Structure 1
């Protein structure tokens, strides 16, 4: 059993592209067979039918099974073009960034399917335009 490395981007998640957020792993998936010296064929979920099932070992991480370890696996909703929309869950913090001639208001937000350590700083005006319901009870 192995985990598969995926690289999320802000707003959209695509396989094989690096983004602003740090890479993470999904799975575990079963190894079906070894292809050559550095590639493996995996048994992927039916929802990942559009993804090729052979991966280089650099894209895999060994899964060490532990009976006491319980995985909270929520399947990702992946579209036909292999993208997934990120959803804002909560605003954690605020700050103002001072530039030479202006001040930019920033909010630290946590995204669905991400941990608190993966929270990112975003512009407050952009977040208000896209997620107005989180800003309604303020002021």
Structure 2
């Protein structure tokens, strides 16, 4: 009888220990699986973030290029407008000299104005080159 009780206790202790070790193995397996899934999800998230960042950068670059194109066009129009103004002033100056209607002071003022506009045109052309370089 004592042997039977001891045998039952040994078997019971062994089975409880086996059950606990079995549950630990299952827990370890599920933990490993969860870690693998977590790594996969993490990689996917990183890839999607990288793609979103790249797309955002491309959009920013496009906006920047459009901005430079607009600035380029504005500068170009400004130069054309100033060159037309120079042409008109030169024509007025020549007509005034031919007719003799312009006083020497008026001739000097118009000449100074033409020089001033030419300087503006030169500055605008330099700015235009810089903008074109940035494009």
**Shared fold per TM-score greater than 0.5:** no
The structure with more strand, counted as a fraction of residues: 1
Q: Which has the higher contact order (CA 8 A, sep 6+)?
A: 2
The structure with more helix, counted as a fraction of residues: 2
Calculate the TM-score normalised by the size of structure 1.
0.16
Calculate the TM-score normalised by the size of structure 2.
0.16
Report which of the two structures shows the higher radius of gyration computed on alpha carbons: 2
